[in-house]
């Protein structure tokens, strides 16, 4: 696939495949195209050339509305800073994807409570993000990304805003859940110790897959 920002190419012919239940780490130096690749795969961006196939269909040709529905049902997306809605409680944040998908308020609340408990923050359900520590916020964001029990989780530097110990704890909790569910994971990271948790590592450099696998560098 190819993707550029104006005259600047971000992806220059990247071709990858992720198997069902596989955890793939995407690594590389700053500006190599890691986040752009993840955003194209998740349907947040469209490609300029090439295709993004999911279950036999090219989702890059779908409308934004159709891709949004896919992210509410079969895809989960987790960002570095969680991006929780600041005015909503933890439980309301986690319930949000279900409510947007048409679930009843009671069912969404029940599922949110369950997932907050699974991530070890069930006692913080009524707290708003500003009342939570960084690791607690990210656990809530993980619960929100997984509450729909997606087939694929896209995680963009999910531990990048956390200290090393908290980051590894959060990642271990994520991977335990996704392995139990058979969820595929595309994990963008610049940290070798985080990438080591994956089943396979793909390294990008200057918008292409680096066959040497020596592209780990600074965040980007």
pLDDT digits (tens, 9 = 90+) for 5-36: 999 999 999 999 999 999 999 999 888 999 99
pLDDT digits (tens, 9 = 90+) for 64-96: 999 998 988 899 998 877 689 999 999 999 999
> Could you please report the per-residue DSSP string of 54-116?
ETTEEGGGS-HHHHHHHHHHTEEEE-TT----TTS-HHHHHHHHHHHTT--HHHHHHHHHHHH
Contact by Cβ (8 Å): 14, 206: no
pLDDT digits (tens, 9 = 90+) for 31-62: 899 999 999 999 999 999 999 999 999 999 99
**Residues in contact with 143: Cβ distance below 8 Å, sequence separation at least 6, in sequence order:** 90, 94, 112, 115, 116, 118, 119, 121
């Amino acid at each position: 696939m190819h993707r550029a920002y104006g005259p600047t190419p971000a992806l220059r012919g990247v071709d990858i495949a992720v198997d069902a239940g596989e955890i793939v780490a995407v690594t590389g130096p700053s500006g190599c195209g890691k986040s752009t690749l993840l955003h194209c795969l998740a349907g947040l961006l469209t490609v300029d050339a090439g295709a993004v196939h999911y279950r036999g269909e090219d989702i890059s040709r779908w409308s934004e509305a159709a891709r949004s529905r896919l992210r509410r049902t079969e895809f989960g997306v987790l960002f570095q800073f969680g991006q929780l809605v600041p005015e909503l409680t933890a439980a309301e944040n986690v319930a949000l994807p279900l409510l947007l998908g048409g679930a009843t308020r009671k069912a969404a609340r029940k599922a949110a409570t369950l997932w907050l408990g699974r991530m070890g923050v069930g006692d913080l359900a009524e707290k708003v993000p500003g009342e939570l520590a960084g690791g607690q916020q990210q656990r809530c964001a993980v619960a929100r990304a997984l509450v729909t029990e997606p087939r694929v989780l896209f995680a963009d530097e999910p531990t990048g805003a956390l200290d090393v110990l908290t980051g590894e704890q959060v990642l271990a909790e994520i991977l335990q859940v996704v392995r139990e569910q058979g969820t595929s994971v595309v994990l963008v990271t610049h940290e070798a110790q985080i990438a080591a948790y994956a089943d396979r590592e793909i390294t990008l450099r200057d918008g292409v897959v680096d066959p040497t696998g020596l592209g780990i560098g600074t965040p980007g």
